[in-house]
Structure formats: C-alpha cells, structure tokens
Amino acid sequence: MKSRFNLSLAQRGHTVPLALRERGSGGEGSAQGTDDSSFRVVCAMCVSIALLCAALMSSIVSAAEFSRVQANESTVTFAYRQMGVNMDGKFGNFTAQAAFDPARLGKAQARIEINLASIDTGVAEADDEVKGNLWFNTRAFPTASFVSIGVKPLGGNRYEAAGKLTIKGKTLDVVTPFSFEANGARGIFDGQFTIRRLDYNIGEGIWDDVSAVADEIRIKFHLVVTAAPGNK
C-alpha cells in the first residue's frame, strides 16, 4: 500500500517526501533515520518555544513598574566620623513608596519617610542624646523625608535622582546616584549621598564643633521592590 501511495503521488507530479519514501523501503536503517530526524525536529521546536516564552517574559518584566517596597528587606543607614574614628548606624523604622520603570524615567517617583526616634547608633546613651533638642529634636520634628523630583540615566544600570530632603523643618535640594538591578519581578535600589549636618541644624550649641563630630554624614539606602505589572 505504501509503495502504491508513493507512486500515485509521483505520477500526479508531486515530490514524494523523504520520510514517506524511507517508510516505503521497509528497511530498519530507514526507520531509525526517520525516528532520529523526527526527534531532532521536536527538540528544535521545544527550544524555539522556550526562547519565545523567555523573550515574552522579559518584555513583560521590563515594561512593569517596580512599586512595591519590601520594608522588611530594605535598610537606611548612615556613616560619619567622631573624633577621627569611623562610626555608623541605622534607622529601624521608615516607610518608602516608589514607582520606577527604566523605560519611563519621566514618571519615576520615590518618597522615603524616616522615624528619627528609631535611630540606632549602637549605644543607647548616644541614641537618647541625638533625639534631644540639640540634635534631631524628635519631639518637634519626628520624621525626616526625601521626595524625588526627577530621575536621569547615567548609563548601564546607574541613575541619578534629584529631590528634596527635609530634616528638622529645613528642606534642601539633594542629588543621589543609585543603581537598579532587576531579577524577574524583583528589583533592588542601592545608593548613597552625603549631607552636611550643620545645614540642617543637626548638632547645635556645643555640638557644632566639627572637630568632634564631622559635618559630613553619608546616607546609604538599600531598597528591595517588586513589580506590579498592572500599574502602567
């Protein structure tokens, strides 16, 4: 039957497929060759489908807006020099909102509010001191805030955010470079910038001597965010 079918196709002027001709020959070698060829075709199709799915997922993630800050994985820390010795600390309580799509930087937004009373210098006595009137005066000014006003690319995964930093009721312009790394629907911001504490009246009276506590304070942030594909 197979030989007559192949012949009929040939008589009608059609080219007989190789696989059909091999099946018509009845040899084991031909059958094995057909199986190998079919396996290769199936493998190629699977690889193509996998690559297509990966490309589609990549385009979906890159178009997503990273806006859900994971506070339990994020940190805000600071570093300074006291009597020539490097010191550091952190803030244990803060909130952050973000809206970041690398493809639409014109719509990028960020806001961080820090509970200044949550300061942790590593020494309880120092924590109590800096909450007082001469330093943060947390009773009158319980929070410090940063609000972005623009983001621009610096190349690769590097960016620069301009914004307003408010501490003790005083608001000044700041610029902070940062990096952004995306891994699927998860993203990480890392950045730092330096302020002069006396510009914000942090450390007044006897504490305005920068030989004891340096004027420059370096602020570092590490924010973990997840993408919200529905927010465009």
Of 23, 42, 62, the residue at which a domain comes to its end is: 62
- Domain tally for the chain? 2
Q: Are residues 49 and 34 part of one domain? A: yes
Which of 135, 133, 141 lies closest to 121, judged by CA? 135
* Whole-Å CA distances, 65 to 90, 158, 227, 228, 230: 28, 17, 5, 6, 8
180 shares a domain with 137: yes
In the chain, the amino acid numbered 141 is F
The answer on 88 and 192 residing in a single domain is: yes
Nearest to 165 by CA among 90, 215, 219, 106: 219
Instruction: Kindly tell me if the per-residue pLDDT of 116 is higher than 60.
Output: yes
Mean predicted confidence (pLDDT) in 27-54? 49
pTM as predicted: 0.71
How would residue 228 be classed by pLDDT, with cut points 50, 70 and 90? confident
Q: Is pLDDT at 202 greater than 90 in this prediction? A: yes
88 shares a domain with 54: no
Q: Are residues 122 and 16 in the same domain?
A: no
- Indicate whether 75 and 158 sit together in one domain: yes
pLDDT, tens digit (0-9, with 9 covering 90-100), for 73-85: 999 999 999 999 9
Q: Give me 141's structure tokens.
A: 């000014």
Distance CA 35, CA 18 (A): 13
State whether 27 and 76 are in the same domain: no
55 and 125 part of one domain:
no
Domain residues for the domain of 209 are 65-228
**Token output for 203:** 């450390």
Q: Which of 30, 52, 189 is nearest to 109 (CA)?
A: 189
Tell me how far apart the alpha carbons of residues 136 and 211 are, in angstroms, rounded to a whole number.
19
